[in-house]
Every structure is written in C-alpha cells, then in structure tokens.
Amino acid sequence: MIVSPIDYRYGREEVKRIFCEEQRIHYLLMIEAAASQAEAEFNLIPKEAFESISNAVKSGKVKVERIKEIEKETKHDMMALIRALGEVSGSGSSYVHFGLTSNDIIDTATALQLKDFYSVLVDDLLELQDSLVNLVEKYSDAIMIGRTHGQHASPITFGLKMSVYLSEVNRHIERVKESRKRVIAGKIMGPVGTGASLGDAALEIQDRVMEILGIFPETASSQIVNRDRYVEYSGILAGIATSLEKFGTEVRNLQRPEIGEVSEYFNRETQVGSSAMPSKVNPINSENVCSLARLVRSFAVPEMEGAVTWHERDLTNSALERFTIPYMSILTDYILRKMADIFETLVVNTDKMRENVLKDDYVMSENVVTVLTRNGYERLKAHELVRKSSMDGYSSGMSLRESLIKNGILDILSPSEFEDAMNPENFTGKASEICRITVTASRRIRTEAYNW
C-alpha cells in the first residue's frame, strides 16, 4: 500500500533513487567496505578480511529481503545489515563493522546521498538561472508598472524584475557551492567519537575512509555527525523554496485578468483549467510550486529540533530525519525544475504591460517631483504640489496630467518639460544596465559552479 504522494505524484525518479531504501543500503555497504579497506591499510584487520568483505559487497549477495528478515528478530536495522553482510563475507565475517558504531555508517551514508544530490541541486539552479537570463536579456527594455504595497508605483522593466530574481538565484548557487564542505561530512569514530576501538591510527583511518568515499571527515564528533551541518543544509533548501514561492506568487498575480501581463503556458488544445468552468486558465504550476515550497520550509523546523540531543546522542533525531532530508531534497529538486519550466515557457504580454503603464499616468508622480526639483523648485513644495494634485485627481476622476495642469504646473515647467516628465520611457533609470550587470555576473557564477 502506497501512502506518500512522493511515491506516486511528486519528485523525479532519478532523485528519489538517491534516497530510496535500496540505494541507501548500497551506500551503507560501500561504507562498510571502505572502512575495512582503511583498517586493513593501517594493519588493524587482515588484508584477507577486507578482500572478503569487499567482494561480498561487490557481489550483490546482501539482499534487502534478508536484512528485513533479520531486523524482525534484532529490532535493529543496522545490526540486521551487519549480520546479513557477515553471512556472505566468508573469512572476513569476524571483522565486519570492526571498531564502528551504527551512526558511523548511517551518517556517512547520508553524506553520500547529499554528495550525489548536491550535483543535482546545482544543475537545477543553473537551469533556473538560464531561464531567467533569457528573460532578462529579452525584456531588459520592456517597460511595465512597478508595484509597491500592491499599488501602482514608478515604472520598471520586466527585465529588471527578472534581474532581481536572477540575482537571488545566483546567491543560492554560491550558497550551495560554499556549503558543500560543511554539509557533506562523515565519521568513523565509534559510539562516543573517540575512535578508541580503532587504536592509535583512528584519525588517519577516518580520513582514509572519507578519502575513499570522496567526502569530508567530521572534525570532532559525538556518536553522530554534528547536526548543525544538516541544519545549514535544511536552511539552504528552505531559502531556495522561499525564493521559488516568491517567484511563483508573482507569476500568479501578474496572470490575474485585471493585470494580464504574463501567464503560464497553457495548452489550449487539450488542457483543462476547471472541471466546472471550462473557460478557466489557471496558474496551476506556480500554485503547485508555492504549495510545495511551504512544505519544504516546514521540514527545516524539525531538523533544527533534531539537532538538540542529550549528551553524546539519543534517538530523538533519528525518526524525523528519515523524512526531513529525503523529502526536502526531493521536493526542492521538483519545484526548482517546475519553476525553470514556468519561466522557460512564460507568455509575456509586453503590449499589456505598456498599456497598463500608459493608462495610469499617476505612476509618473515621482518623476514630476524630480523634474520640478531639478528646475529649481523646492523639493518639499514640489512633493506637496504633486501630492495635492494626485488627491484632487483621484477625487474628481481626472488624470494626473489634467490635475497638475489645473494646479498650475505649467507656470513652473514649459509644456515640453512637462511632457517629458510625464513620459514613462524617460524614467526607467538604470534598469537596462542592471540587467546587463546581472547577466554578466550569472555567467561568471555559472563557470565557477562546479569548482569545489
């Protein structure tokens, strides 16, 4: 019986495979083999024992079914795996899991999962970055209304809006890259972190195991890898999810019929928007991103709670982490890919953007104040003139242009100066230059993304 929507609705198979039971068991066995190799290299166990253990792992003879069968007796998942491995390790069976504790293997397996997922995560972010670069470059000069507090504000360009999002994604790429050395860490130092059973070479053995596996060693551990690492990881994913919800919310708002400036791609030949209202064209993908982003963020809290353990550790982190790390990772990948697709196929209505700017000349109030001040009119008086004209215009139904003329602005500015001040094309500032700067930064970050 399948219960979780992860299993039948959300997530990509290649990512779910990283966190599935079979692959995790594969990681656990890899670590047992790597530990026996390092121990043999430092003469802690016979070389023949390592070879027997390694051959058993490579043979695929350790079966999930057998592990579960043993676990029914032992009530201990790692002990079940250790016994199952011992059964097929021949002469090496006496040295399986020598000097180790369960979480040496469990936490190091999590590090291997995260190592594999980090490459996926960077790919996802680069795909999103690429979709935004295309929008920034294409619409760097596409004028539209800026909005603050949900109200019309001074004009911007759609490229600038996308540059804001692009710069945010760029910082996420840098965070992911920079955090890798702290997040992807394993340990092989036994039940209280001293490495006592590994002898004088304990630290060297741990370093060698992590070298074999291609991950970083924990500096100082208790029975477990320090959970501040997982807290940082969950915080990074929560931050990415927050950005994605922000982007999705903007698409949803701009697709509202009274705005109509962008919309998600909708297959008009076959797609159904509503079972009741056949006319509906809903931003369902952005809504899906927003919904799952909230779930991703919610998992960051139990991960923080799980970082608080008694003494050298207890089990209060164990059960929750079977959900937090896999679910956050799988769903973050899923919504990153979905958001990239939304932007890649986004329908941008530049004519509607321009129409919305031109039909509300109140968006030029800031520029009128600026032009008045530059022409020698005291700024506070200029602000009051435009403010009073705006309030008069709202009350009487006049445009800002009409109200300003009624209130004597042509006694201060010439007609041509006034018309220039009311032209939104003249008041997008450095929007286009900011677009170019952001794209240039994105290309640099892209070339450095995998330098870790």
CATH value at residue 312: 1.20.200.10
Length, in residues, of the chain = 452
Contact 331, 240 (CB under 8 A): no
Catalytic residues: 149, 274
Q: How many Å apart are CA 344 and CA 363, to the nearest integer?
A: 30
In-domain check, residue 421 = yes
DSSP state of 218: P
What is the chain's alpha carbon radius of gyration, rounded to the nearest angstrom? 30
- Within-domain flag for 310: yes
CATH code (residue 48): 1.10.275.10
* Domain identity same for 263 and 177: yes
Burial of 8 (0-12, 13-18, 19+ CB in 10 A): exposed
| Domain count along the chain | 3
From first to last of its 452 residues, the chain has per-residue pLDDT tens of 889 999 899 999 999 999 999 999 999 999 999 999 999 999 999 999 999 999 999 999 999 999 999 999 999 999 999 999 999 999 999 999 999 999 999 999 999 999 999 999 999 999 999 999 999 999 999 999 999 999 999 999 999 999 999 999 999 999 999 999 999 999 999 999 999 999 999 999 999 999 999 999 999 999 999 999 999 999 999 999 999 999 999 999 999 999 999 999 988 888 888 788 888 889 999 999 999 999 999 999 999 999 999 999 999 999 999 999 999 999 999 999 999 999 999 999 999 999 999 999 999 999 999 999 999 999 999 999 999 999 999 999 999 999 999 999 999 999 999 999 999 999 999 999 999 999 999 999 999 988 87
Whether 106 maps to a domain, the answer reads: no
In angstroms, the CA 368 to CA 362 distance is 10
**Do 400 and 329 share a structural domain?**
no
Residue pair 20/329 in contact (Cβ under 8 Å)? The answer is no
Residue that terminates a domain, selected from 340, 356, 372: 356
Q: Are residues 370 and 231 in the same domain?
A: no
- Is residue 334 in some structural domain? yes
DSSP one-letter code for 331? H
For residue 339, give the H/E element and its range: helix 318-344
Cα dist from 318 to 3, 68, 103, whole Å: 21, 18, 10
110 in Cβ contact with 103 (< 8 Å) = no
- Residue 411 inside a domain? The answer is yes
CA separation, residue 102 to residues 76, 79, 124, 187 (Å): 10, 8, 33, 11
Residue type, 134: N
pLDDT of residue 384: 96
Burial (Cβ within 10 Å: 0-12, 13-18, ≥19) of residue 357 = buried
Residues 161, 254: one domain?
yes
In contact, 421 and 400? CB cutoff 8 Å: no
Q: 389 in a domain, yes or no?
A: yes
Do 312 and 193 contact (CB within 8 A), yes or no? yes
Q: Which residue has the tokens 């990074």?
A: 236
Q: What is the DSSP string of 99-157?
A: T--HHHHHHHHHHHHHHHHHHHHHHHHHHHHHHHHHHHHHTTT-EEEEEETTEEEEEEE
Task: Identify whether 431 is part of a domain.
Answer: no
- Residues 133 and 268 occupy one common structural domain: yes
- Write out the two tokens for 184: 């992807």
User: d(Cα 32, Cα 104) in Å, to the nearest integer?
Assistant: 10
156 beta partners: 144
Which residues, in sequence order, are CB contacts of 324 under 8 Å at separation 6+? 230, 234, 299, 300, 302, 303, 306
Same domain, 371 and 278: no
Q: Identify whether residues 238 and 325 lie together within a single domain.
A: yes
Give the pLDDT of residue 432: 97
Contact status, residue 395 vs residue 420, Cβ threshold 8 Å: no
Alpha helices in 359-430 (DSSP H): 365-374, 379-396, 400-406, 415-421
Residues 151 and 268 in one domain: yes
| Residue 393 in domain | yes
Cα–Cα distance, 335 to 290 (Å, whole number): 9
Cα distances from 375 to residues 302, 383, 389, 407, 423, in angstroms, run: 59, 14, 19, 17, 17
Task: Say yes or no: 255 and 400 in one domain.
Answer: no
Q: Which of 53, 68, 95 is the last residue of a domain?
A: 95
Q: Which of 377, 414, 424 is nearest to 153 (CA)?
A: 424
CA atoms of 9 and 387, how far apart (whole Å): 53
The closest of 238, 227, 225, 217 to 175, measured between CA atoms, is 238
Domain range spanning residue 416?
360-426
297/153 Cα distance (integer angstroms): 31
